[in-house]
Amino acid sequence: MYGFCRRLFWSTALAQGEGLNSSWTWTDSETRTCTILVSQNGDATEIDEPGLPISKPDWKRLKRDVRKYISLANFVCVSGSLPPNSSADDLQGLLSVLVDAKKQVWVDTSGASLDTILTYPGICIKVNGNEIGKSLGFEVKDVPSAQRALRILGERGLATCAITLGDAGALLASQAGRWYAQGPQVRAVSSVGSGDSFLGGLLSALDEGKDWPKALSDAVAAGTANTLSAGGGQFTAQEFRRIREQTQIQTW
């Protein structure tokens, strides 16, 4: 795990507390502020504030650090939004480092960043229906519209694409096939962090050598389990396994 971090140790302390092996490219500015307000009845409100601009030297140091540690990774995730004043060229420069290292690269982003990714063949993406709908110019809210979106993405040369639809499930398309996964209905407390949990579940399964259908099942189970409580990524292995057993997979 590596990325931009300001010269305060909140992020590093949280990563260490979770037992994550991490390395950071240090900057003098806040790269992102996210506040989650949880009411007594469990409702969660997420407030995302833009960070301060990241300089060209910051990007240069990040690419240097990525080259230093890339050999340790089997898969690479690029998540979130670009810092202010960063350009498509900054993002493409980072992607070039990763692709040249012949790593499977997954990107979870939206807006202008996603538009840039869609012009970069060979990248894998994980998006929700709303995010990809804005980039493709039509509403993606159900299985048929998600299937249409995935066909378009495949024609553009994207390697593997996953689209999440909330409680309507998720779809994945790769050169090996296409699958749709539907988890069980649960009493959701908060969906904050479910997209991140989905991607974490997917790549954890792939890293274990599971095939695409089983990896998609793990992803949906992780994303669904995340909704059971307020606060991202807080669920038990037992909850995850129970939901995975009830997750249905089919080809399309």
Which whole-number Å values give the CA distances from 131 to 118, 156, 162, in the listed order? 12, 17, 12
What's residue 191's pLDDT? Answer: 86
- Is residue 21 scored above 90 in pLDDT? no
Q: Where are the domains of the chain?
A: 2-251
* Confidence band for 178, pLDDT divided at 50, 70 and 90: very high
What's residue 16's pLDDT? Answer: 77
Q: Within 13 A of 54's CA, how many CA atoms are on the CB side?
A: 25
Listed residue (151, 84, 148, 161) closest to 120, CA to CA: 161
* Confidence band for 40, pLDDT divided at 50, 70 and 90: low
What's residue 10's pLDDT? Answer: 54
- Summarised one tens digit per residue, pLDDT across range 101-148 is 999 999 999 999 999 999 888 899 999 999 999 999 999 999 999 999
* Confidence band for 6, pLDDT divided at 50, 70 and 90: very low
Q: Which residue has the higher pLDDT, 81 or 169?
A: 169
* Confidence band for 229, pLDDT divided at 50, 70 and 90: confident
What's residue 7's pLDDT? Answer: 42
Residue type, 1: M
| Greatest C-alpha distance within the chain | 49
Q: Which residue has the higher pLDDT, 20 or 188?
A: 188
Q: What is the mean pLDDT of residues 186-207?
A: 92
Which CATH code fits 2-251? 3.40.1190.20
| Of 114-118, 121-125, 232-236, 244-248, the least confident | 232-236
What's residue 237's pLDDT? Answer: 94
3-state secondary structure (DSSP) of residue 49: strand
- Is residue 69 scored above 70 in pLDDT? yes
Q: What DSSP string runs through the chain?
A: -EEEEESSSHHHHHHHHTT---EEEEESS--EEEEEEE-TTS-EEEEEEE-----HHHHHHHHHHHHHHGGG-SEEEEES-PPTT--HHHHHHHHHHHHHTT-EEEEE--HHHHHHHTTSTT-EEEEEHHHHHHHHTS---SHHHHHHHHHHHHHTT-S-EEEE-GGG-EEEEETTEEEEEEPPP---S--TTHHHHHHHHHHHHHHTT--HHHHHHHHHHHHHHHTTSSSTT---HHHHHHHHHT-EEEE-
Listed residue (102, 99, 64, 108) closest to 198, CA to CA: 108
pTM: 0.89
Listed residue (47, 115, 60) closest to 93, CA to CA: 60
What is the chain's mean pLDDT, rounded? 88
